[in-house]
Chains A and B, each alone.
Chain A
């Protein structure tokens, strides 16, 4: 794979992606986690592992389950369950983070 570049501290002219996350500190962000989980909250802190502290986050888990229901004929029913939890303060384990972005604007 790529060489293990030790460029954590010394940045040349190109900013690291983590530097750009630093610009999002104290801003609302959208985080995508594994297992079809989404977070929206205000970024209070982060580190190089992408462990994050989110304030006023809104946790949404969206998963789909395919179940077979036999009535007369075999029917496949797709059930989309979306559960939302509102949590005051949240610590996100960086290993689960897939993507970080500004909150999506529904338009």
Chain B
């Protein structure tokens, strides 16, 4: 993945379909495959897992996260 001049929106288009971690303002982590997102940073994840300190719940299928709650998300490759 080249790090040329790209806007954040370009980055967001690139990581669609990749595993991501979304951090919310409340301190909860959501890890899943990024299905889609929009200009308000609303996020749709698949195979989502919720992490609060330890692992709380498993959400299979789609999970929608309201954009204003997310403050950070990054993509990483699962190393299993």
Contacts and interface: CB of A to CB of B under 8 A. Distances in A.
B43 interface: yes
A101 B30 CA distance: 13
A88 to B, nearest CB: 25
Contact of B63 (A1, A5, A48, A101): A101
Interface string A15-52: 11110110000000000001000000000000010100
Interface string B7-43: 1110010001000000010100010000111111111
B75 interface: no
Contact of B8 (A3, A6, A15, A18): A3
Nearest to B61: A102
